[in-house]
Amino acid sequence: MKSRRDFFKLAGISGMSAMGLFSLKGRGLESVNYKSDRIKGEFSKPNFQRFNMSGYAAPPINKVRIGFIGTGGRGTDLVFRISYIDGIEIKALCDLLPERAKAAKEKIKLSGYSPDIYAGDEEVWMKMCRREDIDLIYIATPWPLHTPMAVFAMQHGKHVATEVPAATTVEDSWRLVEASEKSKKHCIMLENTCYDSFELLTLNLARNGFFGEIVHGEGAYIHQIGERLFHRGNRNERWRLKQNIGRNGNLYPTHGLGPLAQIMKINRGNKMDYLVSTSTKDFMMNDIAKKLANSDEYYKQYVDVPYRGNMNTTTIATTAGQTIMLQHDITSPRPFSHIHQVSGTKAFAQHYPLPARIAIGHGGFISEDKFKKIEEQYNPPIIRQMWDIALKIGGHGGIDFLLNWRLIDCLRNGLPVDMDVYDAASWSVIGPLSEWSVANRSAPIDIPDFTNANWKTNLPHDISLIDGGTTGVKAW
């Protein structure tokens, strides 16, 4: 059996497998290369000067100047929705494929922005990050590229907002923390589920004692997209399929975990202590590959390879004595679900399956009328002020727009961000840690403390509009 050190050395190497999309061997990246021995229980304390980013308010930026790396479907949607927010300027769009960057620019031409295009070179994103007239870099590229791009951008004086997960290895999680603390630049993971109206309602309910003490939470990424992973497309669209080969664990933990971590005050008075993880075998992915290979020889390369188990279940224990159950299944014919279950000593709530429901005491689920009264009383200010606007502009039912509007409002007003680098690191690290546990017969493994023990005194930071809410929305 491989030791934990051996496993994470391998994980650190395999996590770079998609780097051919954007080379990391270009000038200026030497500063992000360092020893790969940072795994829980086996690494010495970080040797960089620590600075607590929790609750940190960076100097306000009246007009947030933005550059985007990655303008595929997800990246173009980001550009489009952010263009509706006041107090920003879209300065640059970057993609390996020029036609994608140009298409994203065309989509916002009526907004009045005319961003510069960076494309056609695997290292061109570094040139964009070096610009002095950009304050914030958005990253919507394949998963293994999130960390190196985020680290480079922070080292060059930029705040960073990266798609999920922010890191795919333990080492990369530490790299994010080091870069953010050294640069005093925010590193925000774009976890949109934290901005769903029901998730925000349950967060506010928890803060007001509605659930009593939180005992247990459940979250998931259950989304039947297995066959879509095999879509041939162009050479840059097969990276996610490769992530599902050779990695066996919870590959996408943050959608289910993020809202629960905020409710349980993770990194702010509480922390995730350790986890155990179990995966089924692959019952379906190899069969999909075989079926496709019968009519197209291209797919023979994907037959009899080590796919991840179809269902992964990971259980996390917190220092406060609670448990969190996370599931990952993107293959089985199951209805879409993030679960989002909150179980307390006084009440219970669950988002999926729809409709969302609340139970109080031993009386079972409450009526629709009573549910509406609870919403009227406990919906947080951000929902009261911005939800109707978010629904109109859209993005996964409005949550994408709400997340980005809130981020820009925090940067413009010099407010602490809702999700800091410790959230990005600790939520993302569940992926590689679950892989180790699965590979070792569901053995427990400790979850690193990225906060330097500051979780004991950090104050909870809730998503609200008490101090901000001044950023407008424009029509174009």
Task: Summarize pLDDT for 395-450 with one digit per residue, the tens.
Answer: 999 999 999 999 999 999 999 999 999 999 999 999 999 999 999 999 999 999 99
Parallel/antiparallel/unpaired status of strands 323-329 and 187-189: unpaired
- Whether residue 95 contacts residue 71, with contact meaning beta carbons closer than 8 Å, is answered with yes
pLDDT at 45 over 70: no
- Whether residue 337 contacts residue 222, with contact meaning beta carbons closer than 8 Å, is answered with yes
- Which residues in 319-352 are b (16+ Cβ under 10 Å) and which e? eeebebbbbbbbbeeeeebbbbbbbbeebbbbbb
Is domain 4-190 classified as CATH 3.40.50.720? yes
- What top-level class would CATH report for the domain 194-456? alpha beta
pTM strictly above 0.85: yes
Q: What is the location of CATH 3.30.360.10 in the chain?
A: 194-456
Q: Which two tokens stand for residue 351?
A: 């988002």
| Strand order, beta sheet including 64-69 | 116-119, 88-95, 64-69, 136-139, 159-162, 187-189
Residue 312 DSSP SS3: strand
Q: Residue 293 is which amino acid?
A: A
Most confidently modeled range among 2-11, 16-25, 257-266: 257-266
Burial class (CB in 10 A: 0-12, 13-18, 19+), 289: buried
Q: What is the location of CATH 3.40.50.720 in the chain?
A: 4-190
CA distance 66 to 76: 14
pLDDT at 44 over 80: no
User: Which alpha helices (DSSP H) does 309-464 contain, by range?
Assistant: 368-378, 381-393, 399-413, 421-428, 430-439
CA distance 132 to 91: 11
pLDDT confidence tier of residue 51, bands split at 50, 70 and 90: very high
